[in-house]
Amino acid sequence: MSCLADKTIVVIGGTTGLGLSAAHAFVRAGAKVFVVGRNAANVEKAIDLLGGGSDGLCGDATDSGTAAASIAAAVNRFGAFTGLYHVAGGSGRRMGDGPLHEITDEGWAKTMELNMTSVFYSNRAAVKWFREHGVQGSILNCGSVLGYSPAARHFGTHAYASAKSALIGFTRSCAATYASEKIRFNVVAPGLVATPMSQRAQENETILSYARAKQPLAEGGIASPDDVDGIAVYFMSEASRGVTGQVLAVDWLSLIHI
């Protein structure tokens, strides 16, 4: 499979979980991949795992300069930049997120910064580079089904849901603005996936029972990161050249309300 043979992709949050799994899929599909993560050891480990067609940088996605520096480094290393996959984000529960009446000021601010402001920084850096160099490109943002399909009993973190909902509006607005320049913006919205972020859910039998009913296509109710990889490869490839402003969910039947 070499549908990404002419692509160079920057993965923000590409050293663990969904991001690392996608980076593997990109490399297998022939792409050059530049991974970005905030833990230096994880960056080095990811580069070793991905092999010679990869490189990386240690940086925090909530730093406004990280994405621009990463794109510049990818271009310097591989001579091109054609796609951005923004995966970085995470639960704000430990920072003070929760139901509206419990969210702290810090919990709201930190959760929004991690899950929405970081996306703004990376997408802005990517679109500026594409426009300055007259290059067509693809930007894929990792959202969540919680951005439009609440699951109040087990996932009542309202700042996180707000950030993921905002991500959809942001992405679709950008898609409309830059379509004439052949710069595409899309969202992949996973349900419950087995990653370090979902450890709490993976260890809770009540949540697992709920997930099995909501995600009948997933083994045991929890999707695997590689269930999302094919979608990421699609959006980074020319197969999706006519697709922009779309939100594609992964194995979460939002119409099933339980």
Catalytic residue, from 85, 121, 160, 178: name it: 160
Nearest residue to 15 (alpha-carbon basis) of 235, 195, 189, 171: 195
Cβ-contact 194, 224 below 8 angstroms: yes
Tokens of 116: 């929405």
Among 169, 187, 164, 163, smallest CA distance to 244 is for 187
Is-catalytic flag, 121?
no
CA dist 31 and 146 (Å) reads 31
Alpha-carbon distance of 198 to 161, in angstroms, equals 15
Q: Which helix (H) or strand (E) holds 106?
A: helix 105-112
Residues known to be catalytic: 160
